[in-house]
Structure 1
Amino acid sequence: MHKTNDDTAHHTTKKSIKHWPAGEQPRERLLQHGGHVLSDAELLAIFLRTGYKEHSAVEMARQMLHHFGGLRQILDATPEEIIAFKGMGMGKSAQLLASKELAQRYLQQQLQTVETLDNVQLIVDFLKMKLRAERQELFAILLLNQHCQFIEFKVLFHGTLSQCSVSTQDIIRYALDHHAHHLIAVHNHPQGHALPSPEDLQFTAKLAQACQLLDMQLSDHFIISQNEYFSFAEQGMIAD
């Protein structure tokens, strides 16, 4: 009986990658053709380097993608969830967490190096990377100078706005201490959509008024959820 393509592919993933034909090995294909030619499983396999027992790194990567639901969900998982997956262990788990931190720092350095921070998508990508995976609600601020250049990103409060855990006085004091002229507020909705609640609307209006009294501008307020974001400025809900 002749082997089908599926049989061959299944057999290949069971073998150690180093025994694959050179033209099929993910690492060599990455170096020769670039990352865009590789699947999520192949890219993850390069990171994993080895699998476990009779499973190659590619097979282990496929198992991880199936278990967590996708590449984003793997990167958003907690350290405990990553370590608990068969074949990961402390070493690979630490490397995976380090890769996510590197991605966050890469995006932050992009924010720091632009002459004027007016690229909404760049800001949103950074905020998603920072807050999307959080399991509890956080409130943070992004501070800009008079030229709209990055000063700092800072998580200030934990808990929902409806619990009155966010103090506009503390926000303004922190911004003034860091010589900010523009302030971008952000909080996440760990569950559900990114639509603002009545408390979100009330708080944003209060913060904008407090900023205005001190010649500071609330440039935007972002709400980040797992799959979307909401911008008060884009919706015309913050005055220029």
Structure 2
Amino acid sequence: MENKVTVLTTVPAAPERLLPRELVDQHGVQAASDQELLQIILRTGTSKYSVAKLAGLLLQHYDNLAFLAQANLTQLQEFPGIGLTKAIELQAAFELGRRSLQQSQLRRGVVVSSGMIGQQLVERMQGTVQEELRVIYLDTKNQIIQERLIFTGSLNSSVAHPREIYHYAVLLSAARLIVVHNHPSGQVTPSQNDLVFSQRLVKCGEMMGIQCLDHLIIGSKQYLSLREAKFI
């Protein structure tokens, strides 16, 4: 009886790659490509372009995620299948990534000086067209707990009040804090409002047992420490 040899006439098909959501579910979000992550955010395509094709067109046009993250709402809506809602969702996703990176960068090590914070925030805040007041909350070891944007606008007694700043200090169980605000003019000379506000902050902190270590004014490529300048 002859032995028959079975000859494969077809090559087995390569296993299909999982859909983006299935891939993330089974292997984690790190396993997804840039295009697959965009597909998850976009969710749907159009009758002409699948969601995979649409995500690919975005990356092809902007070359990489860094450039895509800079696109404004109008530019995003120029692509077929991207209306205002999807454009906003894309911008929100990129903004979450930026904020996460900023906070993780600030949490490296212990804050040993105002200069450490000042230099980092000069890079981030210079060129900002509106005044922003941010507070960096620290624990007893000067480890950063959180950086928080308190408000946007001119620094005066009608909008800036220590209670808002110390409210979050209590919620976060912070032991110390550093206040930072920028001057869109680029100059770091403190105004009278800056000085009065800073002195109120220090006094309130003394009463609450939460130390205001410094108030930094961010300008163009430079910063001023009110503590080092002996204004507080």
| Native 8 Å contact 2:123 2:221 kept in 1 | no
1:143 aligns with 2:137: yes
Q: Structure 1 pair 196/102, CA: closer, same or farther in 2 (3 Å)?
A: same
Match of 2:51 in 1: none
Secondary structure at 2:107 match in 1:
helix
Deviates more, 1:181-190 or 1:104-113: 104-113
Q: Structure 1 pair 175/82, CA: closer, same or farther in 2 (3 Å)?
A: same
Q: Structure 1 pair 226/202, CA: closer, same or farther in 2 (3 Å)?
A: same
1:166 aligns with 2:122: no
Whole-Å separation in 2 of the counterparts to 1:158 and 1:130: 15
Q: Could you tell me how far 1:236 is from its partner in structure 2? A: 2.6
Q: Could you tell me how far 1:103 is from its partner in structure 2? A: 7.3
Match of 1:215 in 2: 209
Question: 1:78-123: CA deviations, max 9, x gaps?
Answer: 7559969xxxxx9xxxx9xx99987775553243130x31143431
Q: Pick one of 197, 200, 203 that aligns with 1:203.
A: 197
Q: Could you tell me how far 1:147 is from its partner in structure 2? A: 1.0
Match of 2:106 in 1: 111
Match of 1:132 in 2: 126
| Native 8 Å contact 1:142 1:185 kept in 2 | yes
| Native 8 Å contact 1:139 1:155 kept in 2 | yes
| Native 8 Å contact 1:140 1:154 kept in 2 | yes
Secondary structure at 1:135 match in 2:
coil
Q: Structure 1 pair 220/82, CA: closer, same or farther in 2 (3 Å)?
A: farther
- Aligned residue pairs total 169
Give 1:160's aligned amino acid. S
TM-score (norm 1): 0.55
Give 1:205's aligned amino acid. Q
Structure with greater contact order relative to length (CA < 8 Å, sep ≥ 6) = 2
Secondary structure at 2:136 match in 1:
strand
What percentage of residue pairs aligned between the two structures are identical?
Answer: 27
Q: Could you tell me how far 1:232 is from its partner in structure 2? A: 1.0
Secondary structure at 1:113 match in 2:
coil
| Native 8 Å contact 2:175 2:209 kept in 1 | yes
Secondary structure at 1:221 match in 2:
strand
Gaps of 5+ in 1: 1-48, 52-56, 58-74, 85-89
Q: Could you tell me how far 1:175 is from its partner in structure 2? A: 0.8
Q: Could you tell me how far 1:192 is from its partner in structure 2? A: 3.8
Question: What CA RMSD, in Å, does the superposition of the two structures yield over aligned residues?
Answer: 3.9
Q: Specify which structure has the higher proportion of helix.
A: 1
| Native 8 Å contact 1:151 1:180 kept in 2 | yes
Match of 1:180 in 2: 174
The structure that has the greater radius of gyration is: 2
Whole-Å separation in 1 of the counterparts to 2:141 and 2:209: 14
Whole-Å separation in 2 of the counterparts to 1:117 and 1:101: 24
| Native 8 Å contact 2:139 2:145 kept in 1 | yes
Q: How does 1:76-95 map to 2 (within 5 A)?
A: 79-80=71-72
| Native 8 Å contact 2:129 2:184 kept in 1 | yes
Whole-Å separation in 2 of the counterparts to 1:110 and 1:210: 29
Q: Could you tell me how far 1:124 is from its partner in structure 2? A: 1.8
Q: Structure 1 pair 231/79, CA: closer, same or farther in 2 (3 Å)?
A: farther
Whole-Å separation in 2 of the counterparts to 1:234 and 1:81: 42
TM-score (norm 2): 0.57
Q: Structure 1 pair 236/82, CA: closer, same or farther in 2 (3 Å)?
A: farther
Whole-Å separation in 1 of the counterparts to 2:73 and 2:186: 22
Match of 2:147 in 1: 153
